[in-house]
Amino acid sequence: MVTSQFATQLPQDNQDLSGLLGQHLIYTYSNGWRYELYIKNSNHVEYRVHASVKDVNPLAGRWVKDQKAVIARLGNGMYSIAWNEPTGTCVNLVMDTEQRWVHFTGFLAKWVSDHPELTVVFQNEHLAEIQALRDAGPIAPQVQADLFGTISFAEYSGTDNEQVIASPPGDVPDGFLDRTN
């Protein structure tokens, strides 16, 4: 993370993240796009983008481990999870784990919006390529995405569990995404 005169440290009240850390979630956005998110620890998330239940999800097949994130508790069962991807895309999820909804706001780099297929990889193994694509751009104008979704499955998997997001989205067992609780 880059430190500058704009970065400030403010005291954080009510930052008990114990209700979120170690959670493994499956959720579906209103457009049918399915995602899986693991809150690995207080500074990292991991995720997989799955095929859609309605329309084609152009990012299906993408997966990421150890994505640095800023996680904050907003209230009882409500959290904000934000990160800046190596693609140049900025993501913010607001999640209510009690009412089981998620809101995604993303500012996709222009090159990602134009060619999402270039990001459909295991990002960790293609970091240099992704950063080169980001640097070649264009980053702007960014494309804003705004989606609501429903959490269909949540389980505690412990923190720093390397087995939660350990394979590509296409390798999950049949019925894996259909689990509900």
Q: Find out whether 99 and 46 touch, Cβ atoms under 8 Å.
A: no
How many other CB atoms are found less than 10 A from the CB of residue 127?
A: 12
User: Which amino acid is it at 63?
Assistant: W
Least confident interval from 14-18, 118-122, 142-146:
14-18
Q: Find out whether 73 and 98 touch, Cβ atoms under 8 Å.
A: no
pLDDT beyond 70 at 56: yes
pTM exceeding 0.85 = yes
Output the domain CATH number for residue 99: 2.40.128.20
Give the Cα separation of 45 and 167 in Å (integer). 15
> In the prediction, which pLDDT does 125 show?
97
The pair of three-digit structure tokens given for residue 127, joined into one six-digit string = 């970091």
Asked whether residue 88 is domain-assigned, the answer is yes
Mind telling me the catalytic residues? Answer: 35, 85
Q: Which residues, 6 or more positions from 35, have their beta carbon under 8 angstroms from its beta carbon?
A: 26, 27, 28, 29, 47, 48, 49, 50, 149
> In the prediction, which pLDDT does 112 show?
96
User: Which amino acid is it at 33?
Assistant: W
User: Which amino acid is it at 156?
Assistant: Y
Asked whether residue 27 is domain-assigned, the answer is yes
Least confident interval from 7-16, 22-31, 55-64:
7-16
As for how many domains the chain has, the answer is: 1
What residue numbers bound the domain in which 88 lies?
23-157
Closest by CA to 77, choosing from 129, 161, 125, 19, is 19
> In the prediction, which pLDDT does 5 show?
60
Give the Cα separation of 34 and 20 in Å (integer). 20
Asked whether residue 9 is domain-assigned, the answer is no
Asked whether residue 169 is domain-assigned, the answer is no
Asked whether residue 174 is domain-assigned, the answer is no
Q: Please, what is the average pLDDT of the chain?
A: 93
Strands (E), 22-174: 23-29, 34-41, 44-50, 63-68, 70-75, 78-84, 90-96, 101-108, 143-156
Asked whether residue 172 is domain-assigned, the answer is no
pLDDT beyond 80 at 181: yes
Ranges of H-type helices in the chain:
110-114, 127-136
Asked whether residue 39 is domain-assigned, the answer is yes
Asked whether residue 90 is domain-assigned, the answer is yes
> 53: pLDDT confidence band, cut at 50, 70 and 90?
confident
